[in-house]
Amino acid sequence: MNIVIIGTGGHSKVVKDIILSNKNIHIAGYLDDKFEDFWIEDELLYAPISAYKFLMDKFDELKFIIAIGHNQIRKQIVNKMKLEEHHYMTFIHPSAVISPSARIGKGSVVMANTVVNADAVIGNHVIVNTGSIVEHDNRINDFAHVSPNATLAGSVSLGEGTHIGTGANLIPNVKVGDWATIGAGATVINSIPSNTTAVGIPAKSKIKEEV
């Protein structure tokens, strides 16, 4: 199996380490729009993201992983490439503990020392980062990012594109709306509306500023 990593930042380094733990997968190259042209170095191809079509013709059994931490950018790339989800690979670190009844979507990455418990459902292109806990019956929608050491208690629901900050804690049954952000270290005891940022203990929300 050949894999192409999209993105060359810090997050892609961690994804690369997970890929290298699987002896049956070969990294064919990197795509990033900071590259203006194609070149090959150490048998790896480097090219802009638009080269994905060329690579699909060149390699058999080619898959992609979008190794970029920014939720909106991951979605923009998926929309731009317009590939069916089976073209994306899901990666789970060998040290992660995943319940047999949990479901994890295409293009998602589960990092080292995470726990994903019974009947949790994780969507497509989600990041479940190092040491985080996703408890039973959680629902995490596409393009969300659960940062390191965050804890989502039972039956938590995260909307599309939500970002849960490092070390945040969410009590059971709370809902976080689409494209909301929970600040690092926050404790969420009430549901958080879409397109807001919530910080503090307990977390209080305000409308997100446009970027």
So what's the pLDDT on residue 58?
A: 84
Name the residues annotated as catalytic: 136
Q: What is d(CA 165, CA 177) in angstroms, rounded to the nearest whole number?
A: 15
Classified by CATH at the fold level, domain 91-207 comes out as UDP N-Acetylglucosamine Acyltransferase; domain 1 (2.160.10)
So what's the pLDDT on residue 16?
A: 96
Quick check: 133 and 114 in contact, CB under 8 A?
yes
Beta pairing, strands 109-110 & 26-31: unpaired
Q: Structure tokens of 199?
A: 């910080």
**Where along the chain do the CATH 2.160.10.10 domains lie?**
91-207
Cβ atoms within 10 Å of 85's Cβ, excluding its own: 13
Find the helix or strand (DSSP H, E) in which 15 lies: helix 10-20
Q: In a structure prediction context, what are the per-residue pLDDT tens digits for the chain, which is 211 residues long?
A: 899 999 999 999 999 999 998 888 999 999 999 998 989 888 889 999 999 998 898 887 899 999 999 999 999 999 999 999 999 999 999 999 999 999 999 999 999 999 999 999 999 999 999 999 999 999 999 999 999 999 999 999 999 999 999 999 999 999 999 999 999 999 999 999 999 999 999 999 887 655 4
So what's the pLDDT on residue 209?
A: 56
**Where along the chain do the CATH 3.40.50.20 domains lie?**
2-87
Say which residues have a Cβ less than 8 Å from residue 198's Cβ, sequence separation at least 6. Answer: 176, 180, 181, 182, 183, 186, 188, 192, 204, 205, 206
Classified by CATH at the fold level, domain 2-87 comes out as Rossmann fold (3.40.50)
